[in-house]
Amino acid sequence: MTDSDPALHLPGTSAAEHLPPAYPERAARGTAGSLRAWQEEAIRRYLEASPRDFLASATPGAGKTTFALRLAAILRSNHTVQQIVVVAPTEHLKTQWADAAARAGIRLNPNYSNGDGLAYGRHFHGVAVTYAQVAMKPVQHRLLTESADTLVILDEVHHGGDALSWGDAIREAYGSARRRLSLTGTPFRSDDAPIPFVQYAPQGDGSRLSLTDYDYGYGRALADGIVRPVIFMVYAGKMRWQTSAGEEMEAALGEGNTKDITSQAWRTALDPSGDWIAKVLRAADRRLTEVRQQIPDAGGLVIATDHASAKSYARQLREITGEEVALILSDDAGASERIDSFSHGDSRWMVAVRMVSEGVDVPRLAVGVYATSSSTPLFFAQAIGRFVRSRRRGEVASVFIPNVPALMQLAAELEKERNHVLEGPTSAEEMWDAEAALMAEAEREDRASSELEEAEFTYQALGSDAHFDRAVFDGAEFGGYAEVESEEELDFLGFPGLLEPQEVKALLQQRQARQARRSATRQGLLEHPPERAEAPEALHRTLGEQRKLLNSLVGMYSKVSGEAHKDIHTELRRVCGGPAVAQASVTQLQKRIELLRRRLRP
């Protein structure tokens, strides 16, 4: 579901009332506003081709809903279709679609249930349903579709590939529809499940690439001033935890660690009882305060991994701000009301579990905290889409993320266009395996709380700390290491909330230069900089380089002391702590390296 658009407000009950017969496109305009250029272009392209299937990809916040409903009004007015069916990912979005459709003169019933059969009310022009609802009774929805010439609008159509059974249900229900309009803001998937009614072109490497009929990406929308530029505030820090084997581990976010160590350090950072998330929440609230100087109703959203973390983050934000926090734990009627109340209010913070991020449609959101362990391109794009919806030119979005390689890459590639690629021919057996894997993943997410309770026996967070690491904007990085609440951090948190994209970049460059001057001044005042001043440089080494350096120093020390390499490694573990070299983090390896360097000095 995309942002509300004033161009949707049409008086009366039928878009046909505003149409000269010879120019049906004007049904989309009404009398209360005009379409954006891309929406007019997409509608024109559709009407020229008049296809049965049409896939439109537009970045979140660009106005996909407006485009779809204006096109629906045209197709109803020229009698191409009589009935409109909208398929949405969540119950909350059904209501949003029905509200938007009403403003466009189309009456949709969002309360239609499978128990209603084929009757949804004569005064309605159609229904809004969910993908899960269709999957439960696809035959009934096929009969409903065949009862009249129907336009089916598949919102965020990538959900049709969430499981093989869902895809089959969508094909069964809407295979006979007169017209099908598929919409997506993220035209790709992180798995190989085919999306219904989407065409794929074979590639030279044996894969198949999804084909869209109209694309409107983030880069173009940003240039048009339709969406906000996003600045990523990246935070790193030292993490400590204990493994199931009783080993105490220590690592810093952003180091060249193994995948497992990175995952555990990330999880430690998000631990509600740790200092990392507490400091990041305070920094994000300071940023929100700055933004509200120019945008008084600006709000913030924390996206959490699970219910327990979300509740804890909400408690911390209440203590920080002294205000109540909107807590969205599940996609039910109560959650919809809380989202709507927050959307139309001016309170500071909302906290939601990751399962509702795609359903959160609050244009005033300007500051975000990505406090979830999900790193798929699909989810990341959906999550960031909650903050890019611009209401007026110059608004800037700020999203706080941990320094995790997967997230850093996604942040740097925000403006790149992506398509859904199927890796090679998909056989029935492969599709069955894909469905089994996806269903298992869904079941794991449903059991998230029980898994976390079980995980307490195999993992324990021991402590964490945070520091501002850098800002990422337009694929470039600015700033460097800065202690929390230092002048350097406050420089990056304190720039205005209303800036043009070119002004954002210039200001970030100025802040970076000022930080460098301060650092140089401090360095010049020190006659003998302490040894630990070299540590930041070592943090950028890869894990392999650290191991190689340690082994080299062990060899040198062995020649001096006459001790065996094995005995030296054992002694280093005893003094510095941590597991064997193969399992140690960069931080733990660095401690051993520094110890050997001190012992090797004359």
Q: What is the mean predicted confidence (pLDDT) over 90-109? A: 92
Does the pLDDT of residue 427 top 50, yes or no?
no
Q: Count of CB atoms within 10 A of residue 465's CB? A: 17
The tens digit of pLDDT for each residue in 178-198 reads 999 999 876 554 445 678 888
Listing DSSP states for 537-593 in one string gives: HHHTSBHHHHHHHHHHHHHHHHHHH---HHHHHHHHHHHH--S-GGG--HHHHHHHH
Q: What is the mean pLDDT of the chain?
A: 80
Residue 114 identity:
N
Does the pLDDT of residue 474 top 60, yes or no?
yes
The pLDDT, as a whole number, for residue 40 is: 95
Does the pLDDT of residue 444 top 70, yes or no?
no
For residue 339 the two structure tokens come to 């989202």
The pLDDT, as a whole number, for residue 100 is: 93
The pLDDT, as a whole number, for residue 522 is: 65
Alpha-carbon separation of residue 205 from 188, 208, 421 (angstroms): 18, 9, 11
What span, in angstroms and rounded, lies between the C-alpha atoms of 35 and 131? 29
Domains observed in the chain = 6-223 (3.40.50.300), 232-419+457-498 (3.40.50.300), 531-600 (no CATH)
The pLDDT, as a whole number, for residue 416 is: 56
The helix/strand/coil state of 75 is: helix
The pLDDT, as a whole number, for residue 187 is: 55
The tens digit of pLDDT for each residue in 116-128 reads 999 999 899 999 9
Greatest Cα pair distance in the chain: 96
What span, in angstroms and rounded, lies between the C-alpha atoms of 65 and 155? 9
Report which of residues 315 and 199 the model is more confident about.
315
The tens digit of pLDDT for each residue in 236-264 reads 999 999 987 788 899 999 887 888 899 99
Report which of residues 483 and 539 the model is more confident about.
483
For residue 518 the two structure tokens come to 């301060």
The pLDDT, as a whole number, for residue 415 is: 56
The torsion of the CA quartet 539, 541, 542, 546, rounded to 10 degrees, works out to -90
Residue 125 identity:
H
Does the pLDDT of residue 212 top 70, yes or no?
yes
The pLDDT, as a whole number, for residue 270 is: 96
What span, in angstroms and rounded, lies between the C-alpha atoms of 83 and 283? 50
Does the pLDDT of residue 7 top 90, yes or no?
no
The pLDDT, as a whole number, for residue 85 is: 98
Q: Could you tell me what percent of the chain has a pLDDT over 70? A: 78
Q: Report the range of poorest mean pLDDT among 19-33, 161-175, 224-238, 486-500.
A: 19-33
The pLDDT, as a whole number, for residue 354 is: 64
Q: What is the mean predicted confidence (pLDDT) over 483-501? A: 84
**Exposed (0-12), middle (13-18) or buried (19+): which is 334, by Cβ within 10 Å?**
exposed
Most confident of 3-7, 367-371, 532-536, 575-579: 367-371
What span, in angstroms and rounded, lies between the C-alpha atoms of 116 and 358? 28
The pLDDT, as a whole number, for residue 425 is: 40
Q: Report the range of poorest mean pLDDT among 423-437, 481-495, 545-559.
A: 423-437
**409-436: string of b/e by CB count within 10 Å (b at 16+)?**
ebbbebbeebbbbbeeeeeeeebeebbe
Q: Which residues have a Cβ under 8 Å from the Cβ of 257 and sit 6 or more positions away?
A: 251, 265, 543, 585, 586
For residue 64 the two structure tokens come to 């996909």
Report which of residues 275 and 479 the model is more confident about.
275
Q: Report the range of poorest mean pLDDT among 11-20, 342-351, 444-453, 539-548.
A: 11-20
- Residue 513's pLDDT band, with cuts at 50, 70 and 90, is confident
Listing DSSP states for 130-159 in one string gives: EHHHHHH-HHHHHHHHHTS-EEEEETTGGG
The pLDDT, as a whole number, for residue 533 is: 36
Name the E strands within 137-287.
Answer: 150-154, 179-184, 200-202, 208-210, 214-216, 230-236, 238-242, 248-252
Q: Report the range of poorest mean pLDDT among 96-100, 318-322, 390-394.
A: 390-394
Alpha-carbon separation of residue 271 from 117, 282, 285, 314 (angstroms): 47, 15, 19, 13
The answer to whether the pTM exceeds 0.95 is no
Report which of residues 344 and 496 the model is more confident about.
344
Helix orientation angle between 307-321 and 275-291, rounded to the nearest 10 degrees: 50
